[in-house]
Structure formats: structure tokens, C-alpha cells
Amino acid sequence: MKSKLKTFFLAIFLYLFTYALIYLVHINFFRVNVIFYSALLDSFIALIIFLVCFVSTRVFKKFSNSESCMLFLILLLVGYSFSISLPTVIDRSLSFYFLEKIKQHDGAINRNAMSEIFINDYMIEYKLVEMRLTEQLRSGTIEMLDDCIVLTKRGYLVTKFSSFFRRNFLANKRLILDEYSDQLTDPLQNSLVNTQYLCDTDE
């Protein structure tokens, strides 16, 4: 039992090591369209490499078929979790950005300046609009028709799911600074349609 447990943790270590190597090669020597999809692809490549090594190595033959399937499932989940929790979160996290911005200003920033930082700095420095458009175009949820951004059928399905999840599975009493609120379960409830945002369909 102890021998199997050691082999199990060795497998996780070897998989993560392989994944890290592939990820580093990918981001340094190849083009990356969407960081999450790239990290996810790297995790699958690492799993395939590990699978080949797993089959050809005697060390892992002590596992039964069911144990082997469980190990691969765990490695798949580990790779998926890593793809989300590290490169993707750090790449797009507003929280990390705020912390880095505070550090840039000698560790302290006026609280009243946070909104201005988001609009004037974060949006530009992180190329927020360009990156989100790139991600959604690659995901197939939107398409560009001249100067108009159009929601696709897949995009409609995603918005239906996200709206349903927000209303039914997000906290109704969520702490926002020093007040609990359900505002984020339907953030657009008090938002009006701005006609200036609409596409010109007269042409």
C-alpha cells in the first residue's frame, strides 16, 4: 500500500514537471492565442506523454486497471485546475493587478483613486478590451461584422447559462466593502440600453 502511495505521488510530480516544461516551451517559443486554451492544451499534451511513459514503465505496472484509470482522471483534473488557477487567473485577475499597482506606488494608494486606476490604467495597460474580444472571437461566442460585434448562437447559450447561474447559484448576501448585497446576482438589473452602443443597421 505504501509503495503504491509513493508511486501515486511520484506520478503527480512527474506529470506536473512534464506539464511545466511543455508550458514554458510553449509560451517562450510558440504563439499563444488564448492563455487558458494554450495552458489546457499543454496539460493534455503532458498527459499523453505521461500515458506513453506510464505504459512502458514497469514502476507503474503495480496499479490495477481501475487504479490506473483513477490516476489518469486525477491527473486530468490536476492539469485542468493548474491551467485555471495559475496562468489564467494571474493573466486576467483584477485583484492581482490592484496589488501590483499598489506595490508600484510604494505600497499605498488613495482609495478614491481606485476607480480612476481601473478606467485609465488597467483598461489600457492590460489591453482589456482587445484581449476580451480576442478570447471571445476564438471561443466563437461573438463575430465581427464591420464595426459591429455580434453575439453568435453559442454566445446566446453562454449568456443564458451565466444569467441562470448568477440568479440561482451566486450568494444573495455578498460582502461588498462593508455592506452585504445581492447586486451581483443580476448586475444588469438597473442598467438601461444605451442607444449609442447599438450598431447602425440602416446601411
Return the higher-pLDDT residue of 23 and 114: 23
First to last CA, the chain: 72
How many other CB atoms sit within 10 Å of the CB of residue 71? 19
Q: Considering its fold, how many domains does the chain have in total? A: 2
179 shares its domain with 101: yes
Please indicate, yes or no, whether residues 69 and 110 belong to a single structural domain of this protein: no
pLDDT tens digits, 119-137: 889 889 989 899 999 999 9
Backbone φ and ψ for 36, nearest 5 degrees, come out as -65, -45
Beta bridge partners of 181: 174
Q: What is the pLDDT of residues 147-182, one digit of tens each?
A: 899 999 999 999 999 999 999 998 888 898 889 998
Residue 180 belongs to what H/E stretch? Answer: strand 179-181
pTM: predicted TM-score of the whole model, two decimal places: 0.76
The predicted pLDDT at position 7 comes to: 84
Give the confidence band of 92 by pLDDT, cuts at 50, 70, 90: confident
Q: Are residue 65 and residue 131 in the same domain, yes or no?
A: no
Backbone angles phi, psi at 37, to 5 degrees: -65, -40
Q: Tell me how far apart the alpha carbons of residues 141 and 139 are, in angstroms, rounded to a whole number.
A: 6
